[in-house]
Amino acid sequence: MRAPARVRTVFPPLTGVAAVLLAGPALADITTIDALEFELRELWNQYPNSTLTVNNTPEGSLTGTLAIGTDVPGEFLRIEDNPLGQFVSHDGVDLFRANSHRAWFADNGGADRHEFDFQAGFDVSVDVQLNATVATPRLEAGFFFRHGTGADSQFIVKTFNDFPEVGDSSLGEIAAFGGPAPKASNLKTVQGPPGLEWEGLEYNAGETATLRMQYLPPVLDENTGAVIEPATMQYWYNGVTAYDEPEPFGDTGLQFLAPGTTFALKVQTQSTVPRGTPDTVTDPLYIFSNLVIRDPLAGADIIGDYNNSGQVEQADLDFVLQNWGDTDVSDVTAWVNFAGLPGGNIGGQVEQTELDLVLSNWGDTAAPDFSASAVPEPGAAAVLASAVWGLNISRRRRG
């Protein structure tokens, strides 16, 4: 049974800060990102004598940027902060022990930090691995947002949880928190909506975790600028969604990502020994790989182009076959264009309809074309369709 459509709520016209933000200049879409800009020892640097390397290059020899694209297979970023050594108090007060580093997504070869267009969507995924040779440091890594309003949001994993009152402190937290973005935590350390699906999951040091997030922009009244529907966010941890359906913005009054919002890959090493006790922690290592950046709305007019590559092709057929019978393909990182799927494939099912959309639009690179020239030869189509029944496909289930 398909899930009902989200209720459309009309909000009052934008005023104050929101109205000013909307009046700003047009911003670049997500696909213009081509570099990472490093900001090392940012905010926290209580271990200033640590030996810091990025992709095996010493801190003092770094150029400050790293060229990337919107598809980066394999390892592309390795940060080592080793050894951290003796703790140095912050402003003479023993309150917080950490080193923190950022790699900001940037345009123009790293010259400009990428600023989001709040009226455009994004779908970003990355694999991250956190390692340390001793148990004392708490490592955390993932995505970091600096909103145009000045607030910060994060979507990260931790090797050690610092809220022992809510459960076993050895469990690794998976959390989205801070700023106007929707919030979630497997340990409920931040206030999130009911029905959170990460309960019972955990992150452990040495594991590779796939973090993915998708932002869909607000629906605005074209005449008044009023928000008809707020922007939404969905997070995935190893293919498991945080919410049953995308969660709307609005708990801080802002119903979308503010223009001027920038984002980064973040790593942070934090001491877990009792305060007031000198400590030495060693070998923190962070590895990022398999970066995928997509505009989830860009290919919406190419029906059947499920991976948003710009053409209906073999990969799209493979997605259908490999996920045959599924009622939710949101755990498939590369399946980012849900155009033509029943109910956005929330409560729908991958079956003959999805197969027909691939076959009838085979080779398309623009708007849907149902002409005979776009459809594979009958013999080829029959072979492709029969492959569904010839494959013993295990249906994916949410963890």
53, β-bridge pairs: 58, 80
State the pLDDT at residue 35.
95
Distance CA 269, CA 267 (A): 7
With beta carbons less than 8 A apart as the criterion, state whether 120 and 30 touch: yes
Per-residue pLDDT of the chain (399 residues; tens, 9 = 90+): 222 233 333 333 334 444 444 444 444 578 899 999 999 998 788 778 788 999 999 998 888 899 998 889 999 999 998 766 555 555 455 555 788 999 999 999 999 999 988 888 898 999 999 987 655 567 899 999 998 888 899 999 988 755 444 444 556 889 999 888 899 888 765 555 555 788 888 898 889 999 999 998 898 888 888 888 899 999 999 988 898 888 998 766 788 888 889 999 999 987 655 555 555 556 788 999 999 898 877 655 577 877 767 778 888 888 888 888 876 666 565 666 655 454 444 345 788 878 888 888 888 765 433 333 344 444 444 445 444 444 444 433 334
Same domain? For 334 and 282 the reply is no
Is 83 inside any structural domain?
Answer: yes
CA distance 298 to 216: 12
Please report the pLDDT score of residue 346 as a whole number: 39
Let me know whether 228 and 351 are in one domain: no
Q: Quick one: 289 and 324 in the same domain?
A: no
Of 240, 260, 294, the last residue of a domain is 294
Q: Do 237 and 318 have their domain in common?
A: no
State residue 378's pLDDT score. Answer: 42
Residue 2 lies in a domain: no
- Residue with token string 């919030």: 183
326 and 240 both lie in a single domain: no
Same domain for 219 and 336? no
Tell me: do 191 and 243 sit in the same domain. Answer: yes
Structural domain contains residue 115:
yes
Establish if 254 belongs to a structural domain: yes
Number of domains composing the chain:
2
What pLDDT, on a 0 to 100 scale, did the predictor assign at position 226?
86
Is 153 within the bounds of a domain?
Answer: yes
Are the C-beta atoms of residues 103 and 77 closer than 8 Å to each other?
A: yes
Helix, strand, or coil (residue 196): coil
Given a contact cutoff of 8 angstroms between Cβ atoms, the answer to whether 232 and 64 are in contact is no
Asked if 179 and 32 sit in the same domain, the reply is yes
- Claim to verify: residue 283 and residue 343 sit in the same structural domain: no
Q: Which domain holds residue 337?
A: 314-390
Q: Tell me which of 294, 329, 345 is where a domain ends.
A: 294
- Residue 396 within any structural domain of the chain: no
Does a structural domain hold residue 4?
no
What is the CA angle 42-78-41, rounded to 5?
10
The residue out of 294, 322, 341 marking a domain boundary is 294
Say if CB 187 and CB 166 are below 8 A apart.
Answer: yes
Please report the pLDDT score of residue 71 as a whole number: 87
Report if pTM > 0.75.
Answer: no
Tell me the C-alpha to C-alpha distance, in Å, between residue 106 and each of 33, 40, 64, 113.
5, 15, 12, 4
Q: Which residue has the tokens 């033509």?
A: 340
Same domain (yes/no): 233, 194: yes
The CATH number that applies at residue 257 is: 2.60.120
Residues 182 and 54 in one domain: yes
Do 172 and 28 lie in a common domain? yes
Q: Is residue 269 part of a domain?
A: yes
